Amino acid sequence: MQSLEKYMLPCLNKKLFGVECMGCGIQRSISLIFQGDFIAAFKMYPAIYTLILLFGFVALNFYKKFDFSYKIIVALGIINVIIILTSFVIKTFYI
């Protein structure tokens, strides 16, 4: 998987302004999941597993409709936004 890292897109925000964006780390986190390093993937991008759950549920809901699926998707979206914002603030101001 080491060769996969040379094909990853650089963060334009980080290159231009020197500040990480809210999505920094998601590509490396996915790469770490494929390598089997699940804890490092979480440390790299804490919202990775809830995002996978959200996209998986949306894809499943596309093929089979569930009751209350809209509420579940909105709840998962809110949880993801909270995790992403919290990790961004911690990464930016406290680390």
Domain limits for position 25? 2-94
Helix axes 48-63, 26-35, angle to 10 degrees: 80
Report whether 55 contacts 30 (CB < 8 A). no
The position carrying tokens 């804490």 is 46
Report the number of distinct structural domains present in the chain. 1
| SS3 of residue 24 by DSSP | coil
pTM of the model: 0.81
Give the model confidence (pLDDT) of 4-51 as tens digits. 777 777 887 788 888 788 888 898 899 899 889 999 999 999 999 999
